[in-house]
Amino acid sequence: MNTMKLTFYFVLSLVLGSCVNVQYEESEYVPEPWNPLEEQVQIDDAILATQQLLVGKLTSHVDGENLDAAVHFCAKNAQTLTDSMSQVLGYNIRRISPRNRNENNALSSSDEQAFANFEKSLNSGALSKYYVDENSAAYYTPILLGMPLCLQCHGKPEDRNANAYTLIEQYYPNDKAINYDLGALRGMWKVTVGE
């Protein structure tokens, strides 16, 4: 076959092929669900970076026994800093607790199983490092009250800094984030995508 005939058949096949009305159902493409375990290292790094930023900024405002600047900073900036880290790192990162200080950090009904899992594992002496809710594609990791300084705002009355807690009550009149011991389960980091 000469080149001219080959070219003719090729062009004819393109023309006829473009006339075929191909319809695709929208349901043919189903995106893969997000699996947090596939990104566990990146998620853990995102949580660590957010935690280090918050703790670093907070402790930089502590002046000996005077915690006033730290309380003001935390009340006005902690949520904003966490939200900005979410944007930078590409995950929705939240700190949540059943005994929340900020009402925006309360547990939802879908978070309760993760918290119950962490409580059970802590009480057994083998605290789980993470929990994944496959239905909502949420990744959780526990937050423990890890530094004695934390007790000055989150501890029992005898451990709390009275002046600092007076300020906290002004910002959060319905505060539930108190009466913790060192090492207690304070809450959880929750990481999701697309929320």
Q: Are 164 and 67 in contact (CB under 8 A)?
A: yes
Mean per-residue pLDDT, 100-106: 95
| Residue 95: its H or E element | strand 92-96
Six-digit token string for 78: 């902690």
- CA gap 51, 44 in Å, rounded: 10
Residue 76: strand, helix, or coil? helix
Through-space distance between the first and last CA atoms of the chain, rounded to whole angstroms = 60
Of the pLDDT bands very low, low, confident and very high (cuts 50, 70, 90), residue 2 is: low
**Secondary element (H or E) of residue 163:** helix 162-171
Per-residue pLDDT band at 28 (split at 50, 70, 90):
low
pTM for the predicted model, two decimal places: 0.79
Enumerate the domain spans of the chain: 35-192
- pLDDT tens by residue, 108-161: 999 999 999 999 999 999 999 999 988 888 999 999 999 999 999 999 999 999
Tokens of 109: 């009904």
Question: pLDDT-derived band of residue 95, with 50, 70 and 90 as boundaries?
Answer: very high
Q: Is the pLDDT of residue 39 over 90?
A: no
Strand, helix or coil for residue 44: helix
> Which of 121, 133, 116 has the alpha carbon at shortest distance from 34?
133
pLDDT at res. 195: 55
